[in-house]
Structure 1
């Protein structure tokens, strides 16, 4: 799947959610899989954001230390 495929998919989904006449047909299995995996994906995203924030804070701390040391 390419980036343009993903962007097109999100564009179609936005149009369908706005109730502009676009109807999406989705297999029941897809809905079950989405429901089953939604909380896992959300938890994984939260863990990734916490890790990123921690790393960003460490980088900022090191950069601040180096700037103070140079001055």
Structure 2
């Protein structure tokens, strides 16, 4: 994955989290990830695995395919 693509992933995750009025702590509470990991994902310090994308999609009330489509759109 190119650096430009990972930056977009982080921005999309952050935008979706804010759209659902969730803090990083809230997202961490509802997912198997901790707040530091959520922060690292949003800052592109950590590359999300497919299982992570699936779990975050559930918390963000969307299908994993919808989340992947949002990432692919950019």
- Structure 2-normalised TM-score? 0.28
- Structure 1-normalised TM-score? 0.29
Q: Which of structures 1 and 2 has the bigger CA Rg? A: 1
